Amino acid sequence: MHITDLINNIAPDTQQRVEKAKNTYNRLIRDAIRFESRLSLNPGRGDSITDEMGIKIPIRLEAGYPDCLRDFFVPEEFRIAALLSEIRPQLVQVRDSSSVVGQFLADYQQEPTLEYFVGGSICHAEREAEQLLKLLDVYDLVRELLNTRQDILGLYRPTHQSLHRMNHPHWYNDEYRTTLDAGEVIIYWSVIGIIAPRLGVSIEALTCVVLAHELAHAYTQAGFDIDGQNWPLESFFGSDVYLIEGLAQYYTERLAEKLDSRIPGLQHAYKQLLEKQTGPYRHHTFWIDDLKASPEQIRHAMLKVRRPDSIPVQEFEHHLKH
């Protein structure tokens, strides 16, 4: 079963729900990232650069899937497991609640109205749900999709204009380099439609997690510090993936906690997704749990490494420790 077969089975209103969530929460998420990172998309350096010349980070929704999933197939022996995984949260609810219902009916079996239901199919739902869960537990579709260790739900990439600047640096005045050194955010709404129900989270909440992650990439790279400097595009994309994804995940976690009361289900969606992620997408937990880094230490270390070099994560962590 190819990934396109999975896409064909997503909720028909997925695109509209992703679009609405993006439009509703885009500004809120941007403001929160700017507050947490103290980085702005407006360079604000004197009279030569106006507000209108600040960096714009466009957000585009794309159908389909990223190139890294082009060859993704579910082995035939796991096809049923992959399909059943869409209703895993509901099966867990049936399994966990049917015993309560069965016991309730048993306690009131003398009631004529309830007598018919005692020993009926509803009392066996726990066993049947458990059997279906065993069928799907042999294959974790979400984990397999995320094993590509790339941003499959969305991505931050250079714009055509910034790529042109990178390929022809002598054509551009250095004064305006930073205003061109930016990317765009892509959101793959079809992949969100595959993964959200399998995590037991809403499409809207997962969309906001993806949006926060990709905008965190944008701000850590293109955002200006107090001196009007940002992270050169070549250096950003050439740096250690554990550093780049670690920073994005760190700020996503901060936002999930701060905005949970304003974006329903945001923190739950972030935690459910994180549980399935590996490698660079979990490395920020080392900074938090092992190094006990504070938000200001993270920000200070990030500013130290935003320069025209390919930065290893070890250098960033050296700044966290000293």
Give yes or no: residues 315 and 239 share one domain: yes
Give yes or no: residues 192 and 237 share one domain: yes
DSSP state of 183: E
Pairing of strands 154-158, 183-188: antiparallel
**Which pLDDT score, from 0 to 100, does residue 44 have?**
67
Q: Which of 136, 151, 169 is the last residue of a domain?
A: 136
**Which pLDDT score, from 0 to 100, does residue 169 have?**
55
Give yes or no: residues 104 and 228 share one domain: no
**Which pLDDT score, from 0 to 100, does residue 52 have?**
47
Q: What does the block give as tokens for 9?
A: 């089975």
Give yes or no: residues 42 and 69 share one domain: yes
Give yes or no: residues 167 and 68 share one domain: yes
**Which pLDDT score, from 0 to 100, does residue 115 have?**
72
Q: What does the block give as tokens for 110?
A: 């003398």
Q: Which of 120, 136, 152 is the last residue of a domain?
A: 136
Burial of 155-168, coded b for 16+ CB within 10 Å and e otherwise, reads: bbebbeebeebbee
Give yes or no: residues 104 and 146 share one domain: no
Give yes or no: residues 51 and 146 share one domain: yes
Give yes or no: residues 56 and 120 share one domain: no
Give yes or no: residues 11 and 159 share one domain: yes
**Which pLDDT score, from 0 to 100, does residue 311 have?**
95
Residues of the chain with pLDDT under 70: 44-53, 119-120, 160-181
Give yes or no: residues 185 and 267 share one domain: yes
Q: What does the block give as tokens for 175?
A: 């004064």
The range of the structural domain enclosing residue 19 comes to: 3-74+140-321
CA distance 89 to 236: 38
pTM for the whole thing?
A: 0.88
Beta-ladder partners of 154: 187
The number of folded domains in the chain is 2
What are the residues whose beta carbons fall under 8 Å from the beta carbon of 273, sequence distance 6 or more?
A: 195, 199, 201, 206, 209
Give yes or no: residues 101 and 48 share one domain: no
**Which pLDDT score, from 0 to 100, does residue 50 have?**
38
Q: Which of 136, 155, 179 is the last residue of a domain?
A: 136
Give yes or no: residues 233 and 313 share one domain: yes
Chain mean pLDDT for the chain: 89
